[in-house]
Amino acid sequence: MKLYRLMKADADGKPLVGDGSMMLGVRPADPTQPNKRADVSAVAGTDVVQPGDGGLSCYTDPAAIKIQSNKLLLWSIDTEDLPPELVEKPAGDPHYHIEPVRETTLDDLQALVADTRDLWQRETKGANP
């Protein structure tokens, strides 16, 4: 299955790795800003992320994605290419999370997600402008 995600590109043309919005990484919770969107409930790098606790948001249907900035690019990854420590989980069709298969720390999850950087392919069409 192919998953799609909007992300910023780094200077080398690959997805920009980080824990901010539209980056290749999960956004940790911020207790000082409870209304800020988070992908996982973990706050610090040593906090545990459980399977089913969220992860990197993606979509199976690129048309479900709205491009809101010309700085964002549409990327795809084949779920068969995910490392064995990561799995795609439904989060409300067509929304999915890429999340850990077992309990892991936030730092380790970020590293696992960052390691998929070379697996993401830039898409030239599919999302809605």
Q: Inform me whether the pLDDT recorded for 112 exceeds 80.
A: yes
Q: Percent of the chain at pLDDT above 90?
A: 81
Q: Inform me whether the pLDDT recorded for 126 exceeds 80.
A: no
DSSP sequence for the chain:
-EEEEEEEB-TTSSBPBSSSTTSBSPPPP-TT-TTS--SSS--STTSEE-TTS--EEEES-GGGPBP--TTEEEEEEEGGGS-TTEEEEESSTTEEEEEESS-EEHHHHHHHHHTTGGG-EE-SS-SB-
Q: Percent of the chain at pLDDT above 70?
A: 96
State residue 68's pLDDT score. Answer: 79
Residue with tokens 């690019």: 73
Strand partners, 100: 86
pTM score of the predicted model = 0.92
123 contact partners, CB below 8 Å, separation of at least 6: 4, 62, 73, 74, 75, 76
